[in-house]
Amino acid sequence: MAQDKGRLLGQYVEDYAVFDLETTGISWQRDAIIEISAIRVRGHRVSDQYSTLVNPQRHIPAAASRVNHITDGMVESAPLLAEAMEGFLDFIGDDILVGHNIQSFDMKFINQATNTLYGREVGNDRIDTLILARQCLPGLSRHRLLDVAGHFGISTQGAHRALQDCIMNQQCYERLGKMLQEQGTEDKGVVCPKCGAMMVKRKGMFGEFYGCSSFPRCRGTRNL
């Protein structure tokens, strides 16, 4: 498997692409993509969008349909993964990718697909708003996209469909980015010594420390 060269960033940029997936389940090794959406942002404003359902050539479990409301009938005439992925990659180009929990979820599915189709992984730099939310909003008990949007008073109508999640996430990223700048914590660039992911501040029995943002998959730590 080719090595993913994209860097995980922690900064506020004005030009980027937000993306989101809906899938048949949570395992990038066993499950399949059933929707891909992305929006292009220029100067902090949405300028274009890409969205397609994907025919996974398998049954969509009822548990997945209850969350994303995508059924077998909806994807029956949808393009296969190869066509959908080609359109997605053309759309994002070299843009910095923004998404919520993309480091541990969406990028796993994307890289699995591009490895299968092209023998390589996506090399775009990326920004994970889950990591930013944990950094900027430590008082929240949970940092799901819905929680972050609710905190900022952003509409969550249509959540768990990929395009609506992109729109919601873009608004959250703009709010989080401004908080980063105000707090002076933008792009500290503390990298996990074990896996290379970005590290975030955590609290333990003996005080604060840096912990890997990919926890529990990676348990890398570093002293402040």
Q: Which residues are catalytic?
A: 160
Residue 176 token pair? 């989080």
- Smallest CA-to-CA distance from 14 within 174, 167, 127, 169 is with 174
Q: For residue 12, what are the contacts with CB-CB under 8 A and spacing of at least 6?
A: 176, 177, 178, 180, 181, 186
Helix (H, G, I), strand (E, B) or coil at 191: strand
Neighbours of 121 (CB within 10 A): 19
* 104, 83 contact by CB (below 8 A): no
